[in-house]
Amino acid sequence: MTVSILRHYSTITAQKTTQLRTTQLTLALLKPDICADKSLIPKIQHTMAEHQLDIVQSRDVLWTEQEAGRFYAEHEGKFFYHRLCGYMTSGPFQAYILSSSDAIKKWRSLIGPTHPVRARIHQPDTLRALYGLTDTRNSFHGSGKSFISNWGVFF
């Protein structure tokens, strides 16, 4: 009996260890235009769950210009930088840590192309195709790489 329990425990431990190794975290933002319509948030959360993206943590955020500027510093000097920072400070938004195997790819695939018009043509079932307004007001952010260095901005 003891040996059987130990084998079972060992198998469960090995499965959990493997699961932890294959889990990836990503940052997802629901931008101000989405959060302005509170009825959309549960729909989007449901869509996340349908695509095996688990919400590890979430938080409401309201940025100052300086905070937006720090987050989007890589775009400073580009023509859209000030417009993007203005958009992200126009109202509250939500930040999520999502977890899944291949979370970055899954979330970015779910939100679709940056430009909602292109998304509507080429990937009409993506979130940006359904909810995005313009190339700047595209409703969602999906990190293209690990965002661990940016956690302090949100959590």
Question: Residue 114, annotated ligand binder?
Answer: yes
**pLDDT number for residue 144:** 81
Question: Residue 108, annotated ligand binder?
Answer: yes
> Which residues fall within 8 angstroms of residue 114, CB to CB, at 6 or more apart?
128, 135, 138
**pLDDT number for residue 151:** 61
Pick the CATH number of 24-61+94-154 from 3.40.50.300, 3.30.360.10, 3.30.70.141, 1.10.3720.10: 3.30.70.141
Q: What's phi and psi for 95, nearest 5 deg?
A: -110, 140
Domain extents in the chain: 24-61+94-154
DSSP string, 94-112: EEEEEEETTHHHHHHHHH-
Three-state secondary structure readout of 78-91: CCCHHHHHHHHCCC
pLDDT tens track of the chain, all 155 residues? 433 333 443 444 444 444 455 799 999 999 999 999 999 999 999 999 999 999 999 999 999 999 999 999 999 999 999 999 999 999 999 999 999 999 999 999 999 999 999 999 999 999 999 999 999 999 999 988 765 656 666 76
Catalytic residues: 141
**pLDDT number for residue 22:** 75
Cβ atoms of 94 and 35 closer than 8 Å: yes
**Pairing relationship of beta strands 93-100 and 24-30 according to DSSP bridges:** antiparallel
